[in-house]
Amino acid sequence: MDEWRIVCRGGVHQGYERHRWLLLSCYFLALILLSKSALASTVLLKAMVNAYDVISVNRGKLDHKLDA
């Protein structure tokens, strides 16, 4: 169990979260640039921010479980 904690606290878990967020943000930004209307761009931008919040909350929950 201690090895799992060390791996997750190191670069593996944090690197995965950063990589996932980077891919997600590039995807949403591409959709925003390709959309023709301002309303669609606004909705996509809001979805991107919400996705980032979900990833951050889930990461915080995992960090809390690892500390326990």
pLDDT digit string, tens, across residues 42-51: 777 787 777 7
Number of domains in the chain: 1
Which residues span the domain enclosing 47? 2-67
17 vs 12, higher pLDDT:
17
**Percentage above 70 pLDDT, the chain:** 49
Q: How confident is the model at residue 7 (pLDDT cuts 50, 70, 90)?
A: very low
SS (H, E, C) 6-42: HHHHCHHHHHHHHHHHHHHHHHHHHHHHHCCCHHHHH
